[in-house]
């Protein structure tokens, strides 16, 4: 009797161990289901895939998604959502498929590789799914109808309004382009404004100053003062109406003293012309400072004697 009790206990313990091992080994599950069993040609349908397992017992490898299931096209798939449910982790994914041919087609099983923490790896396999793709129903009781001719759609001015707007925009752009090119050509063709006497004289004096030809010895000094007095005499003759080019230094200085406007610069003229005569007639050789002072005096005379332009409209009584 005791021997029978021991045998039964050992058998029950063995069954319990086998059941527990099987439960641990098969802790994961996978299912797949269609949103509906039949569709019209070209309509999408959802395939819901669901996998659950305990991450502390095993690891799941998700199946690779193909571009099609035979003659059923895969339109896309959602991301894999994860949630916790009764101590297990549940993964779900929605796969959208469609068919462009009529008939009954099979979506094959989805396979997931499972690697338990303890024990050998195994594969979860879902059921295959059958989908019926139907064409539009045809009422065979009705007679065939002939093909209709092309129907003329009534036309109104609203159908052509955008064409008119487009033409106006093109014409406006063409006019603006023509206007721009015309005025740009005119602006480019206009000659620059004439240089006034004062600006021209100052430009010539500065050009002479930059050359510094007085550095070339005695001949360079003479050339420098001949050019300087020539520019200055030409300016005074044009500005004040004095025959400065034909007079000697003494005659010109006497004329300047008696001139109502030139007498204000008689001292500067004396300094410039006296230094120039020293250089030209070899009485003495001016130094660098005297060259610069003569040039500055000439430029100052031209700047200060610049004619003042008065706007005649401002002097008219209102």
- Work out the pLDDT band at 152, boundaries 50, 70, 90: confident
Asked whether the predicted pLDDT for residue 304 surpasses 70, the reply is: yes
Q: Are residues 206 and 125 in the same domain?
A: no
> What total of structural domains would you count in the chain?
2
Torsion angle (degrees, nearest 10) of CA 66, 71, 75, 80: -40
Residue 306 phi/psi, 5-degree rounding, is -60, 130
Q: What is the pLDDT of residue 253?
A: 85
pLDDT, residue 126, reads 93
- Residue 70 has which token pair? 């035979």
User: Is pLDDT larger for residue 140 or for residue 6?
Assistant: 140
Over pLDDT 70: what percentage of the chain?
Answer: 84
Q: What's the rounded mean pLDDT across residues 185-191?
A: 62
Same domain, yes or no, for 130 and 201?
no
Measured in degrees and rounded to the nearest 5, phi and psi for residue 250 equal -65, -45
C-alpha distances in angstroms, 283 versus 216, 247, 279, 286?
18, 20, 7, 10
Asked if residue 158 is part of any domain, the answer here is no
- Based on the fold, state whether residues 218 and 293 are members of the same structural domain: yes
Q: Check pLDDT > 50 for residue 19.
A: no
Residue 225 clears pLDDT 70, i.e. is over it: yes
**107 C-beta neighbours (distance < 10 Å), count:** 21
Of 117, 134, 151, the residue at which a domain comes to its end is 134
CA 65 from centre of chain? 40
Is 178 inside a domain boundary?
A: no
Instruction: Of 110-119, 245-254, 274-283, give the lowest mean pLDDT range.
Output: 274-283
Distance CA 309, CA 141 (A): 106
Q: Strand, helix or coil at 41?
A: coil
Give the end of a domain, one of 98, 117, 134.
134
pTM (predicted TM-score): 0.40
Res. 36: pLDDT tops 70? yes
Residues 208 and 116 in one domain: no
168 in a structural domain: no
| 129 belongs to a structural domain | yes
Segment (H or E) for 29: strand 29-34
Domain of 74?
Answer: 26-134
- Is the domain of 297 the same as that of 204? yes
pLDDT of amino acid 140: 67
Token readout for 197 is: 């006497």
> Does residue 48 contact residue 94 with C-beta atoms inside 8 Å?
yes
231 domain residue, yes or no? yes
CA distance 123 to 110: 10
Which residues, other chains included, contact 286 with Cβ-Cβ below 8 Å and sequence gap of 6+? Answer: 221, 275, 278, 279, 294
Same domain, 119 and 203: no
Instruction: Pick the last residue of a domain from 81, 113, 134.
Output: 134
Identify the DSSP state of 128.
P
List C-alpha distances in Å: 232 to 124, 225, 270, 276, 316: 110, 10, 12, 12, 36
Q: Is residue 205 part of a domain?
A: yes
- Do 31 and 121 lie in one domain? The reply is yes
The C-alpha atoms of residue 97 and residue 133 are separated, in whole angstroms, by: 11
The arrangement of strands across the sheet holding 58-61 comes to 58-61, 111-116, 122-125
220: burial class by Cβ within 10 Å (0-12, 13-18, 19+)? Answer: middle
Q: Identify the CATH number of the domain in which residue 104 sits.
A: 2.60.40.680
């Amino acid at each position: 009797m005791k021997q029978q009790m021991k045998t039964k206990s050992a058998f029950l313990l063995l069954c319990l161990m086998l059941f527990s091992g099987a439960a641990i080994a098969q802790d994961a599950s996978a299912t797949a289901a269609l949103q509906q069993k039949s569709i019209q040609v070209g309509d999408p349908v959802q395939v819901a895939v669901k996998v659950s397992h305990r991450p502390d017992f095993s690891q799941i490898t998700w199946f690779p998604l193909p571009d099609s299931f035979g003659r059923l096209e895969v339109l896309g798939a959602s991301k894999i959502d994860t949630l916790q449910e009764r101590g297990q982790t549940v993964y779900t994914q929605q796969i959208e498929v469609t068919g462009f041919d009529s008939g009954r087609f099979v979506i094959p099983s989805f396979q997931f590789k499972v690697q338990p923490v303890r024990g050998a790896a195994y594969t979860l396999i879902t059921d295959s799914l059958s989908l019926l793709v139907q064409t539009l129903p045809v009422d065979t009781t009705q007679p065939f109808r002939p093909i209709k001719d092309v129907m003329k759609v009534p036309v109104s001015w609203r159908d052509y309004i955008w064409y008119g707007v487009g033409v106006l925009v093109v014409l406006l752009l063409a006019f603006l382009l023509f206007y721009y090119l015309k005025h740009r050509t005119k602006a480019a063709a206009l000659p620059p404004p004439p240089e006034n006497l004062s600006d021209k004289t100052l430009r010539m004096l500065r050009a002479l100053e930059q050359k510094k030809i007085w550095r070339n010895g005695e001949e360079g000094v003479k050339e420098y003062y001949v050019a300087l007095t020539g520019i200055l005499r030409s300016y005074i003759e044009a500005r004040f109406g004095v025959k400065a080019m034909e007079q000697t230094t003494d005659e010109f200085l006497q004329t300047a003293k008696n001139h109502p406007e030139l007498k204000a610069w008689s001292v500067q003229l004396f300094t410039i012309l006296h230094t120039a005569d020293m250089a030209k007639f070899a009485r003495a050789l001016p130094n660098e400072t005297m060259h610069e002072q003569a040039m500055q005096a000439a430029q100052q005379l031209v700047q200060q004697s610049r004619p003042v332009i008065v706007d005649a409209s401002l002097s008219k009584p209102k």
